[in-house]
A and B are shown apart, each in its own frame.
Chain A
Amino acid sequence: MLDNLSPKEKEILAQIKTVIDPEVAVNIVDLGLIYKVNCDEENRKINVLATLSTRGCPVGDTIFQHIETVVTANNPGFEVDVELTWEPEWTPEMITDDGRAALDGF
């Protein structure tokens, strides 16, 4: 889902990688929680589509707020929208190899 990213979108993804899930202490990109990063440079708009590992996640709001803060602070002049989706439902297969290694070592 994160294929064909433009250089700017890759940059935004790297920014989002600094957001850590406070429960498992692993970044949310490696946990597979980010489905899409879209940057419309012409209209100065950034759209991030993300999910959570479980409904009712106690730190869900905080994670979304964190994404918005980080992306906004690193991309001045852009309108940032972080959208929550439950489709497709997150599964452990979405965790990257780095994420798995981090979870094993936790």
Chain B
Amino acid sequence: MKAGLSTKNAPSPWVVLPHFLYGALALFVASILLFFAAGELSQFYLSPKVISLIHVIVLGFITMIIFGALYQLIPVVMEVKLYSETLAYITFFLFGLGVIMLSFDFWSFLFTTKVHTIIAGSLIILAVLIFVFNTLMSASKTKLNTIENKFIITSVIWLLLTVVMGLLIIINFSHPIFTTSHVQLMKIHVHLGIVGWFSMLTIGVASKLLPMFFIAHRLNTKLLKFAFYFINLGLVMLLFDLFFTHDLYVMTLFSVIIITGFLLFIKYNYDAYKKRLRKKLDVGMKLSVLAFIFLAISIVFGFFSTLTINFIRPYQTRVETIYIVSFIIGFLVSLILGQMYKTLPFIVWLQRYQDKVGKYKIPLPQDMYSEKIAKWHYYSFAISMILLFGGILLTNELTIQVSSLFFVITSLLYGYNTIIITFHKQKLEELKPAVKPGN
């Protein structure tokens, strides 16, 4: 038994691949929705069309791909087999259906009254419950007690709390449960999702993968440990404040604790970037580096959104919108776009060529997609984001619509590469033995 090897623990590719295809389709749908939601987005981010758009992105694209990638990455990070592939399929179908139903209801502004929306939310919760169970059962078998594992395990618990809170908000519209206002409740839901679920998960996975792809060793994992405690502590206190005390000064203090955690994570990855042996970055890593620029923008705007300074107050909504948009569409989408190129080609490559290495002349994973197309969508995405930020800051609908056109281009090019990787086929030439020394 070769301890530390993960390939034998890898799940069937057909557990993973549908998640990437669904995600690519969701990104395309989101890019179209952005065009039609431009008017609302230029005014306020907690409006029906924007909420629908955000859910298509965070659930349909980001979470769906994270689910798929995690089934592949759990064996890498935890050195165990996934607990159940059947449960993974069930999660996919329930979650996929729930996201379509929920996004449709949000877009049509039906969620305040309809039972339909509660069913959609329940499907998502059920899917997440099964996912969390599957992840925790897999994690229970690991012998490794690394900080990366702690991030992943904590993140799925925050995910569960996020979707439960989401469903409670929907129910609260017709059957009031909370005395807290809906805007406050949505802020709690948003922060559970972006700080609890996405950040914990992203930090856990990125801390393992980015140094691996950069080829950077001897990094200070204490930074990650402090990041873990700072972010979780800050988040718990922030949620308490949003629920009960509503004190802006206290909120600023808790935000500073969370931001400190993020800065430690950025420092860890910056060290990996500086110490990297692979000087030239491929397009997947360029998109990942771009993601960190958006994260920095989000942190700055997130911090300003908590300040009670007079000159910010008239622009409060725009600052909050940039904070949310920069984190979700900027940081997370960019990171997923980039990391797709670091995961999907390997998953397909292993399935197609694992038993052919050394016997046939086989392509490398990076030969399985068009690098040129990936570069084009790197630029189209960056342009789209600049225009989107500009449109939000200037409250200009047309600029956001132009941004959505670049987003459509991004999603089409990304979708094209996803499809050609997933359905990759190549005629192989047999290798002849006899290699002489010095070759």
Contact = CB atoms under 8 A, between A and B. Distances in A.
B350 interface: yes
Nearest to A104: B279
Interface in B75-127: 75-79
B278 A103 contact: yes
Interface string B314-345: 00000000000000000000000000000000
Contacts of B177: none
B366 A25 contact: yes
Nearest to A84: B2
A99 B355 CA distance: 26
Nearest to A105: B280
A65 interface: yes
Given A14-B435, A14-B436, A56-B77, A61 B277 contact: no
A57 B364 contact: no
Interface in A1-54: 7, 10-11, 13-15, 17-20, 22-25, 52-54
A10 B437 contact: yes
B181 interface: no
B6 interface: yes
A66 to B, nearest CB: 4
B357 A23 contact: no
A78 to B, nearest CB: 12
B217 interface: yes
A85 B366 CA distance: 28
A74 B435 contact: yes
A94 B120 CA distance: 54
- In this complex, the member of B8, B278, B358 whose beta carbon has the largest number of chain A beta carbons within 10 angstroms is B358
B433 A73 contact: yes
A68 B434 CA distance: 14
Contacts of A58: 6-7, 10, 72, 76, 346, 350
B13 interface: no
A84 B439 CA distance: 25
A70 to B, nearest CB: 4
Given A17-B439, A25-B364, A73-B358, A62 B433 contact: no
Interface residues of A, number: 44
Q: Which of A13, A20, A70 has the most CB of B within 10 A?
A: A70
B437 A95 contact: no
A11 B4 contact: no
Contacts of B293: none
B357 A66 contact: yes
B5 A60 contact: yes
A59 B7 CA distance: 6
Contacts of B10: 58
A92 B359 contact: no
B436 A61 contact: no
A58 B77 CA distance: 10
Nearest to A100: B277
A95 B277 contact: yes
A12 B434 CA distance: 10
A14 B438 CA distance: 6
B365 A23 contact: yes
Nearest to A95: B277
Interface in B225-253: none
B4 A56 contact: yes
Interface in A61-85: 61-62, 64-70, 73-74, 84
Interface string B193-225: 000000000000000100011010110000000
Nearest to B355: A65
A96 interface: no
Given A25-B364, A58-B76, A61-B5, A104 B359 contact: no
A10 B437 CA distance: 6
13 contacts: A14-B438, A17-B435, A18-B435, A22-B346, A24-B278, A25-B366, A52-B5, A58-B7, A62-B357, A64-B5, A69-B358, A86-B4, A103-B277
Given A23-B213, A91-B217, 16 more contacts: A19-B357, A22-B365, A23-B346, A24-B215, A25-B364, A55-B4, A55-B79, A56-B79, A57-B212, A58-B72, A58-B346, A59-B7, A60-B4, A62-B350, A62-B353, A65-B357
